[in-house]
Structure 1
Amino acid sequence: MNHPATSIRIQAACSELIWAARLNLLWIVFTLLGGVILGLGPATVAAYTLARRHGQGESFQAWPEFWTVYRREFVRASLLVLPAAVLGTILVGNYLYFSALGPGSGALRIATFVALIALAGVGAYLGPLYAHYDLPLWAYWPKASQLALMRPASSVLLLLALLAIAYATSAAPILAPVISFGAWIHLNTWLCLRFFAENETRLHSKGNS
């Protein structure tokens, strides 16, 4: 006979998985709606905005709320996300190119890999940061970079979570259209909200000391 607490935890876990799959579908549909290039930024920001609201226990209708944020943030989100997407694509292309050249390009390949890790580490803070704080558009990337450097343990945890999801997706590609993107956005937001709360508590304590 199952313990009631165990049943509650299983139900909660299933509920979060369903939410991640739903968020995944929303992100894919609205990214495709913008022809991928124009849809990527607003769909990503809308997904993080809803993930934050879900993480804070809000109840809402996902599809109309996603559409509302998608339209409202269309230009700003594109300006925020697309440069990083372009840079990431270039770095991945360069890494594959240098890898194909063989041992002679080892230094360039390693430098490109380090740049990719740095971009991923900073970018892991960007979506939750945008959804949680109201800053000038130009301030998000510097703030995300500052957090990545000031909280190395948190940054490593985020990168490990991203790596785990990427590895699972590479092993079972069917996960990508089903849950992978939504799972990352959901987990990324959940972790960052806690990091932000810890950081605010620490700063508040310093201010009062």
Structure 2
Amino acid sequence: MERISSSIYLILEWITRFAYLNVLWILFTFTGGIILGFFPSTTAMFTIIRNWLRGESDAALLGTFWSSYKKEFWKSNKLGIFVAMLMVIIILDIWYLHFLPPVLSWFHIPLLVFILFSFLFLFYLFPAFVHFDLNVRSIIKHAFLIMLIHPLHTLMIIICLACLTLIMYALPSLAFLFAGSAFAFTTMWLCLHAFTGMNKKNSA
């Protein structure tokens, strides 16, 4: 009975942590005026989740979040400029595809490949940012290369995030409390496996 109570308490504790982290992510995004707040807030969320996955879960959540938010504010917004430019290019490509003939042709293929690879690359961007102590250009390069050499991890990320999206769609009340932290946890967990595998290969 004691073991069951301890397990229930642990589950409820982690549910509370994920909900609290998600609320912090939303609040600090708005604190930075959304545009300047989104990237440092997301970076702070991924930093905390990385710590959790590495067994470092004792630190105060708010203090760690705020510390990471301040530390990475300008660097993460430099990354944000790159992401914004990439998203503009993707939107222009989609707009261009809209005006092409509906039949698939060689005009479509390079644009579709670029759009697909861009979205897949974004999965690795924040995990690489918090995992590697590198400048923004090197982080972008690392994220892209890891995406290319780990197609299985990329596929697993797509499947897991698709399942989470369906759950959030079916239960929209969960989205406010868990959407950001759940998506970040799933992505960070799978990316850490990819990073670990890459480190082992480099060591060998």
> Which category of TM-score, normalised to the shorter sequence, fits these structures?
0.7 to 0.9
Q: How many residues align?
A: 202
In structure 2, C-alpha distance between the alignment counterparts of 1:103 and 1:173, rounded to whole Å: 37
| Corresponding residue of 1:88 | 87
In the alignment, which residue of structure 1 is the partner of 2:33? 35
**Following superposition of structure 1 onto structure 2, how do residues 106-117 of structure 1 map, counting pairs within 5 Å?**
114-117=113-116
Residue 52 (structure 1) aligned with residue 33 (structure 2): no
**Deviations 1:165-200 (Å, cap 9, x if unpaired)?**
223333333333221111011121122222212221
**1:120 counterpart = 2:119:** yes
Letter of the 1:32 partner, please give it.
F
**Cα distance between partner residues in 2 of 1:168 and 1:114:** 28
List per-residue Cα deviations over 1:32-65 (Å, max 9, x = no partner): 1111111111111111111111211221111122
Conserved? CA contact 1:88–1:116, under 8 Å? no
Q: Is the deviation greater in 66-75 or in 194-203?
A: 194-203
Q: Which amino acid counterpart does residue 80 of structure 1 have in structure 2?
A: L
Unaligned runs of 5+ in 1: none
> 2 CA distance for matches of 1:169 and 1:103?
35
| Aligned residue identity for 2:162 | L
Q: Which range is displaced more, 11-20 or 155-164?
A: 11-20
* CA separation of 1:72 and 1:65: change in aligned 2, threshold 3 A: same
- Report how far residue 16 of structure 1 moved: 3.6
* TM-score normalised by the chain length of structure 2: 0.82
Change (3 A) 1:138 1:168: same
Contact kept in structure 2, 1:31 and 1:40, CA below 8 Å: yes
CA distance in 2, matches of 1:197, 1:77: 23
Structure 2 spans left out of the alignment, 5+ residues: none
Letter in 1 for 2:44: A
RMSD over aligned Cα atoms: 3.0
Q: For residues 97 and 30 of structure 1, do their structure 2 counterparts lie closer, same or farther at Cα, with a shift above 3 Å needed?
A: farther
Deviations 1:87-138 (A, max 9, x none): 3366358648856x79737667776654443222111111111111111221
**Identical residues among aligned pairs (%):** 27
Cα deviation, residue 13, structure 1 = 4.7
Question: 1:52-71 residue pairs with structure 2 within 5 A?
Answer: 52-58=50-56, 59-71=58-70
TM-score (norm 1): 0.80
Mean CA deviation greater in 184-193 or 70-79 = 184-193
